[in-house]
Structure 1
Amino acid sequence: MSDETHAPERPATFRELFAIGEYRAVYLALVLTWAGDYIAKAAVTMLVYQESESVALSATAFATSYLPWLVGGPLLTALADRYPYRTVMVICDLIRMPLFLVIALVDLPVWAIIALLFLSTLATAPSQAARSAMLPLILQGDRLVVALSLHGSTNQAAQVGGYVAGASIALYHSPQLALLLNAAAFGLSALVIWFRVRHRPAVALGERRHLLRETGDGFRLVFGTPVLRAIAILVFAAMLFSIVPEGLAAAWASELADEGANPEPIQGLIMASSPIGFILGGLAIGRGVRPSRRQALIRPFAVLAPLALVPALLNPPAVVVALLTAVSGFAVAGLMPVTNGLFVQALPNGYRARAFGVMNTGVQVMQGIAVLTTGMLADRFPIPGVVGLWCAAGVLLMLVLATRWPQPERFEAAIAQAREGQVVVPGARPAHPVSPPVDDRSRPPSSEAGVGAV
């Protein structure tokens, strides 16, 4: 049953998603790489600390994984639009696998460990961009939105579980074992993608230009298209507030703990509450709410994300702080998959990876700005007041953005234009005509993909 005949008021089911062989492969590879990455982050942090006995260097090792998005994310993701998405994902996995093997098996100085870790994370941006760009070719309509919601919940679960597993393996066995598991995860991911996802040629967009110009096309597309610009601004704004409790968790826990008590359990409670709220929200909204209702809830959830944290002004106890943070995470989970689904469906073929790079870089930058700014404010003022007032300002910002949010008809028109290849990228050269993606579910199942999804 195609998405066009899929009952519009019934959410897609997980059974429908996992009935598609290619999607099963993509999801398995995603779980492998995410779990391995988070296990490795915890292990590398401990390994560097064991080698250097320096908190600053161990924190540097952890933060290195975010640097590629900040220093070259959009440029690297532009590469993913030049080559077949499956090929990009496999090559990126095969680049990262030996680098982690070297870190695990060779006795290296700290600077070399950090350098290899940085090189490995350079492959993350094009790999994630290629996967994001491939999904709309495998899934359409509400199946795509439900898949994105599932991915968000999976990522949060992998983050919590990966950090715990990585720290436990490093503590009770060795950091090297955790790094070997991560290398194995990348190898398995490459095999799964290569053998279970079918090859699709790169989209022809006329004569290739300098990579910087093609990267600029991604920015012009996102911020020059009214519907895409509205989504980008709303998502970036949401990131300014939902990340704050996690960013200030260590200091906030110290303020909330009784005198002489260990603040680490409180810190863990605050940091875990947002992922837990996100997981619950993703599953509840993705599966329990019909598609049209999800779109109608975008504006309320956008306001609720910062509003939930405003009661921090009252300096509540730790359990209440965790509950407020979980509610904010729940709201973000109700917002992000739906806006992400609208975003990728409104993108023309050949630009999805670049647009993903723009969005992911923006999210990283906004989160960094929020944590740095509130952190500096918290050095001068009590944390509950900083969080409460910061998020109160967020409510006002979200109310303004909610009033300017496009009507559903605008999104439908933009998605239809993208499917028909009628989207014009400001400043880009005219592309060769490209046929819109074909729904292969009307064809016999593909022998390579398991079930012909595209």
Structure 2
Amino acid sequence: MLELLKDRVYIRYWLAVVVSFLGDAMTRITLVYLVARLTHSPMMIALVVMMQLLPSGVLAAFIGPLADRVPKRVLLVGSDIARILVVLAMIPARNSVWALIALTLAEGVGKAFFETARIAAVPKVVGDPKRIPVAIALFQSTYQTVNLCGPAVAGLLIAVGSIPVVFVLDAATFAISALLLGSIAVLREMPSSGQVQESYWASLRSGVRGVLAVPSLRVLLTLAIPATIVFGLFTTNINAQFVDVFKLSGFEFGMAQAMLAGGAAIGALSGPALIKRFGSSSGLLLASMGLFGLAMAELAPTQWLWEQTGWGAVLQWCLLTGLFSGLFQVPIANTLLTDMPEELRGRGVGLLNAITVNFTIVGVLIGGAAADLFGIAGSIIVPGLVLAAFSAVAVLFLRSSQRSAEEAAVPSRSR
């Protein structure tokens, strides 16, 4: 990890992503606050959150071919510049709910382009494929840390009545990101001429076929569906559990969120060593999915401990669930970037982003119905048990498939 942080190309790329993440986090919490203050409507707040997620779900698969046809710098710097203009436009629009929602959608479109190109560019930036798991772990842990710090900075500025300053700072983070990314020579490289000559729609079709032709990627995309549905459901109902069931104070709520983020960062950073130990990203993915499900189910004894000992039990549970939620995302990204052919990388990233975001939205939508059916705690415990059971069955199925393949290969060798 230290070797990667000493790489001048990587450190510029990492810093650009950090400040871009910070801008996203600050914008997100500021928009939620403004719409909540203007409307006092949970429905409108949910609409803002959906507008932030929707572009990645709808557009990511269609952005993928572009990431394989133009230099990554074009998409990265272009999306940063576009978001500068969008965020600055939020200043005069800050008292208009529908204008803010429209601008939120536009900012989400810029993020969809940025994220697809950012992930697809990782192998180019790190150079050595063996360093990809470490790079992924650093990005995931950074993302969790920024998700904690960004809203805190925005909340502090909002508290002193400086909402326009928040938007100006957001625009500045995107400007810094654009300057850093524009200075990285490897991001200026053109893709192969064959990709450029192929028509856009032919490129999109061949990309989907190419991704699904790789067995490990088929497994990855299949396993990502239940994992992201449950994760979306968890993130929807966890705050209701904190506020309505555990009755946490403002300080306790903040500490619980910090433990979730801290656990996720630890999980992400432990990913590279565990990938080496398992020798298989799919094995680590299934193990971490199962453990995440069991951690969610641990909410049942945690509620009893909370009644007996206080909110310290809640912090322990937050650390554990955060740990495994951060861990299972590392093998997903590692498999995608190491097993994906370079000429398909943008389309593969776009397809995975589309699947994960859309099924996260499905989980968010299911969350409310699950809370009505099982109660707030039950809506976390029951899906956790289902995910753990699914992971156990998937492990047995994959082992059986591997044994069958090995047995089928023995006669062919003897011949």
Coarse TM-score class (shorter-chain normalised): 0.7 to 0.9
2:78 to 61, 76, 91: 91
1:279 to 232, 250, 265: 265
Name whichever of 364-373 and 29-38 sits farther off: 364-373
Q: Alpha carbons of 1:359 and 1:270: their partners in 2 closer, same or farther (altered >3 Å)?
A: farther
Structure 1: 5+ residue stretches without partners: 1-13, 410-454
Name whichever of 334-343 and 357-366 sits farther off: 334-343
Q: Deviations over 1:227-284 (max 9, x none)?
A: 1011222233322334444311233234424xxx666556545544432211112223
List aligned pairs for 1:258-269, cutoff 5 A: 267-269=253-255
- Aligned-CA RMSD value: 2.7
The CA distance in 1 between the partners of 2:245 and 2:40, in whole Å, is 28
Q: Does 1:177 align with 2:165?
A: yes
Letter in 1 for 2:57: L
The CA distance in 2 between the partners of 1:262 and 1:58, in whole Å, is 22
Matching residue of 2:413: none
* Matched-pair contact (CA < 8 Å) for 1:85–1:130: yes
Q: Deviations over 1:257-315 (max 9, x none)?
A: 4xxx66655654554443221111222344x5572446364443232111222233444
The CA distance in 1 between the partners of 2:348 and 2:221, in whole Å, is 10
Q: Alpha carbons of 1:210 and 1:321: their partners in 2 closer, same or farther (altered >3 Å)?
A: farther
Letter in 2 for 1:291: K
Deviation at 1:191, TM superposition (A): 0.8
Matching residue of 2:335: 342
* Matched-pair contact (CA < 8 Å) for 2:79–2:114: yes
Q: Does 1:149 align with 2:137?
A: yes
Matching residue of 2:369: 376
Deviation at 1:109, TM superposition (A): 2.6
Q: Does 1:131 align with 2:124?
A: no
Name whichever of 373-382 and 125-134 sits farther off: 373-382
2:229 to 221, 226, 240: 240
Q: Does 1:167 align with 2:127?
A: no
Q: Does 1:116 align with 2:103?
A: yes
The SS at the match of 1:240 is: helix
Q: Alpha carbons of 1:297 and 1:121: their partners in 2 closer, same or farther (altered >3 Å)?
A: closer
* Matched-pair contact (CA < 8 Å) for 2:230–2:383: yes
Q: TM-score, normalised on structure 1?
A: 0.78
Q: Alpha carbons of 1:348 and 1:389: their partners in 2 closer, same or farther (altered >3 Å)?
A: same
Matching residue of 2:289: 302
List aligned pairs for 1:32-51, cutoff 5 A: 32-51=19-38
Q: Alpha carbons of 1:80 and 1:108: their partners in 2 closer, same or farther (altered >3 Å)?
A: farther
Q: Alpha carbons of 1:17 and 1:382: their partners in 2 closer, same or farther (altered >3 Å)?
A: same
Identity %: 22
List aligned pairs for 1:417-432, cutoff 5 A: none
Matching residue of 1:28: 15
Q: Alpha carbons of 1:244 and 1:53: their partners in 2 closer, same or farther (altered >3 Å)?
A: closer
Q: Does 1:328 align with 2:321?
A: yes
1:61 to 48, 53, 71: 48
Name whichever of 397-406 and 112-121 sits farther off: 397-406
Q: Alpha carbons of 1:226 and 1:289: their partners in 2 closer, same or farther (altered >3 Å)?
A: closer
Name whichever of 68-77 and 156-165 sits farther off: 68-77
Matching residue of 1:19: 6
The CA distance in 2 between the partners of 1:194 and 1:375, in whole Å, is 43
The SS at the match of 2:342 is: coil
Deviation at 1:190, TM superposition (A): 0.8
Matching residue of 2:348: 355
Letter in 1 for 2:218: R
Q: Alpha carbons of 1:349 and 1:389: their partners in 2 closer, same or farther (altered >3 Å)?
A: same
Letter in 1 for 2:208: F
Q: Alpha carbons of 1:346 and 1:49: their partners in 2 closer, same or farther (altered >3 Å)?
A: same
The CA distance in 2 between the partners of 1:183 and 1:384, in whole Å, is 39
Q: Alpha carbons of 1:398 and 1:262: their partners in 2 closer, same or farther (altered >3 Å)?
A: closer
Q: Does 1:158 align with 2:143?
A: no
Q: Does 1:366 align with 2:359?
A: yes
* Matched-pair contact (CA < 8 Å) for 1:26–1:197: no
Matching residue of 1:223: 212
The CA distance in 2 between the partners of 1:35 and 1:309, in whole Å, is 28
* Matched-pair contact (CA < 8 Å) for 2:237–2:379: no
Q: Alpha carbons of 1:406 and 1:213: their partners in 2 closer, same or farther (altered >3 Å)?
A: farther
1:70 to 49, 57, 61: 57
The SS at the match of 1:381 is: helix
* Matched-pair contact (CA < 8 Å) for 2:84–2:172: yes
Q: Deviations over 1:30-68 (max 9, x none)?
A: 001000110111112223344445443344233321110
* Matched-pair contact (CA < 8 Å) for 1:219–1:358: yes
The CA distance in 1 between the partners of 2:275 and 2:387, in whole Å, is 28
Matching residue of 1:8: none
Q: Alpha carbons of 1:406 and 1:157: their partners in 2 closer, same or farther (altered >3 Å)?
A: farther
Structure 2: 5+ residue stretches without partners: 403-415
* Matched-pair contact (CA < 8 Å) for 1:301–1:331: yes
Q: Alpha carbons of 1:177 and 1:73: their partners in 2 closer, same or farther (altered >3 Å)?
A: same
* Matched-pair contact (CA < 8 Å) for 2:133–2:334: yes
The CA distance in 2 between the partners of 1:262 and 1:336, in whole Å, is 28
The CA distance in 2 between the partners of 1:107 and 1:230, in whole Å, is 45
Letter in 1 for 2:392: L
Deviation at 1:319, TM superposition (A): 4.2
The CA distance in 1 between the partners of 2:252 and 2:210, in whole Å, is 43
The CA distance in 1 between the partners of 2:203 and 2:15, in whole Å, is 31
1:190 to 178, 186, 192: 178
Q: Does 1:201 align with 2:190?
A: yes
Q: Deviations over 1:71-97 (max 9, x none)?
A: 222113332222101121111111111
Letter in 2 for 1:310: A
